[in-house]
């Protein structure tokens, strides 16, 4: 039995779908308020709970052999990254130890090891990585770059308006990963011997500049992109104002600022190593988007 947290998220949903396509038993950890009907329909067992409640985590781990931790916080998460990205994962690791889980897959983030002081999510991921590695569990830590599925709503907006809002330097490099490829890597990590006890950066096969994204949209929709480039200091202004009314949201924006002001990409040799390890070719951003965006 697999336990997948974040099962209603962009990545978690794909992990559950893939496991069910492969007829694997899977328990999806979901919140009562989430949209989980599709997962149930596909034959996933549903464990309703809240990851901020250790007892819900312990209950969900009963009878589980594999855990894939794919949940994550956002700006509105109660307790922020500390509660969900850090504490809930520590509880999950301890519950996994208690029931003798065979393999724990943790979705971290590319750059978790860079010591960004102002980014609570990165700090939480790094601390969880350390804890998992010292836990004695078999593990695979995946450090993905940005997900291609995040761009689908932006592409739909672009389809209507031709406008793309780009915050920060358009030349910043990124290697956006196909969320479907990442789901496959997460699932296959538990059976791929060479992935055991490894920390793996996971990106797409191309190193893109952020300005390439609207160009790709333009090709897909056959439309000349109009790029509206907002400088980073505009975001800093918003953060300063937010700090007065909502300090938690200000902290969460620190993670966004780190994401927007730094480069997150995998080198060609890292990608080649990943393709060899898992035995398939990673898909480009354009290919991912074309599959999802009926034109
Ligand atoms: N998106 C990216 O570009 C990116 C890049 C690198 C790494 N990552 C990491 O990859 C993982 C998956 O990201 P994603 O974009 O797929 O996430 P997502 O779409 O934001 O989904 C987050 C998931 O966590 C669940 N969740 C939040 N709070 C919860 C709680 N208290 N109890 C139970 N479940 C809770 C959400 O449930 P609800 O449906 O109920 O809200 C949802 O299923 C995260 O760890 C993230 O940090 C993401």
Residue 295 has a pLDDT of 61
The CATH code of the domain that includes 122 is: 3.40.50.720
DSSP annotation of 150:
G
Ligand 1 pocket, residue 146 CB under 6 Å: yes
Angle, vertex CA 244, rays to CA 241 and CA 247, nearest 5: 105
Give how far Cα 244 sits from Cα of 20, 70, 78, 237, Å.
47, 32, 19, 12
Q: Does 154 fall in a domain?
A: no
6 Cβ closer than 6 Å to some ligand 1 atom: yes
Ligand 1 centroid to Cα of residue 73, in Å, is: 6
Q: What dihedral angle (degrees, nearest 10) is formed by the CA atoms of 86, 91, 93, 98?
A: 170
In our burial notation (b when 16+ CB lie closer than 10 A, e otherwise), range 191-230 reads eeeebeeebbbbbbbbbbebbbbbbbbbebbeeebeeeee
Residue 102 included in any domain: yes
The C-alpha angle 290, 18, 16, rounded to 5 degrees, equals: 110
State the pLDDT confidence band at 125, using cuts at 50, 70 and 90. very high
Look up the domain containing 60 and give its range. Answer: 2-145+177-204+267-282
Asked if residue 157 belongs to a domain, the reply is no
Please indicate, yes or no, if residue 128 is contained in any of the structural domains. Answer: yes
User: Does 204 contact ligand 1 (Cβ within 6 A)?
Assistant: no
Percent of the chain whose predicted confidence (pLDDT) is above 90: 85
Q: Which protein residue's CA is at the shortest distance from atom 45 of ligand 1?
A: 72
pLDDT at 88 exceeding the cut of 80? yes
Give the CA angle between residues 14, 94, 100 to the nearest 5°: 80
Ligand 1, atom 40, residue with closest C-alpha: 34
Residue 10 within a domain: yes
Could you tell me the distance, in angstroms and rounded to a whole number, from the CA of residue 169 to the centre of ligand 1?
26
Is 218 part of any domain? no
Q: What is the mean pLDDT of residues 204-228?
A: 96
Asked, for residue 221, whether it belongs to a domain, the answer is: no
pLDDT digits (tens, 9 = 90+) for 69-84: 999 998 888 889 999 9
SS3 label, residue 37? helix
Question: Residue with structure tokens 């997150």?
Answer: 264
Cα 67 from Cα 97, distance rounded (Å): 11
* pLDDT greater than 80 at residue 142: yes
Atom of ligand 1 nearest to the CA of 5: 34
Pairwise pLDDT comparison (281 vs 254), residue with the higher score:
281
Per residue in 7-58, pLDDT (tens digit) is 999 999 999 999 999 999 999 999 999 999 999 999 999 999 999 999 999 9
167-207 residue pLDDT tens: 999 999 999 999 999 999 999 999 999 999 999 999 999 99
Cβ of 31 below 6 Å from ligand 1: yes
Reported confidence tier of residue 256, pLDDT bands at 50, 70, 90: confident
- 289: closest CA among 215, 227, 230? 215
Specify if 97 maps to a domain.
yes
What's the 226 CA to ligand 1 centre distance in angstroms?
31
| 3-state secondary structure at position 77 | coil
Q: What is the pTM of this model?
A: 0.96
The structural domain count of the chain equals: 1
Distance 11 CA to ligand 1 centre (A): 8
**What beta strand segments (E) does the chain contain?**
2-5, 26-30, 45-48, 66-69, 103-107, 139-144, 163-167, 173-174, 198-202, 208-209, 226-230
Ligand 1 geometric centre to CA of 44 (Å): 18
Mutate to test the pocket of ligand 1, among 3, 8, 9, 111 (most ligand atoms within 8 A of CB): 9
> Mean pLDDT of all residues in the chain?
95
């Amino acid at each position: 039995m697999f336990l997948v947290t974040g099962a209603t998220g962009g990545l978690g949903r794909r992990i559950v779908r893939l496991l069910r396509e492969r007829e694997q038993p899977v328990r999806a950890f979901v919140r009562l308020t989430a949209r989980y009907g599709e997962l149930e329909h596909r034959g996933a067992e549903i464990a309703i709970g809240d990851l901020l409640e250790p007892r819900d985590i312990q209950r969900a781990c009963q009878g589980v052999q594999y855990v894939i931790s794919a949940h994550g916080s956002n700006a509105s998460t109660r307790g922020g990254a500390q509660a969900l990205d850090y504490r809930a994962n520590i509880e999950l690791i301890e519950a996994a130890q208690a029931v003798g889980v065979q393999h724990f897959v943790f979705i971290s983030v590319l750059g978790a090891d860079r010591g960004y002081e102002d980014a609570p999510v990165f700090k939480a991921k790094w601390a969880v990585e350390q804890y998992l590695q010292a836990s004695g569990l078999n593990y695979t830590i995946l450090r993905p770059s940005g997900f291609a599925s995040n761009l689908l709503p932006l592409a739909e907006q672009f389809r209507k308006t031709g406008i793309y809002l780009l915050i920060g330097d358009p030349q910043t490099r990124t290697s956006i990963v196909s969320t479907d490829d990442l789901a496959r890597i997460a699932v296959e990590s538990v059976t791929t011997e060479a992935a055991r006890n490894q920390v793996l950066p996971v990106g797409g096969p191309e190193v893109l500049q952020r300005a390439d994204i609207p160009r790709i949209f333009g090709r897909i929709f056959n439309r000349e992109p109009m790029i509206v480039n907002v400088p980073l200091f505009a975001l800093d202004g918003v953060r300063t104002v937010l700090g007065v009314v909502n300090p938690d949201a200000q902290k969460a924006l620190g993670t966004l600022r780190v994401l927007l002001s730094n480069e997150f990409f995998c080198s060609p040799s890292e990608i080649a190593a990943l393709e060899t390890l898992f035995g398939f070719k990673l898909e480009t951003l354009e290919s991912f988007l074309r599959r999802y965006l009926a034109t």
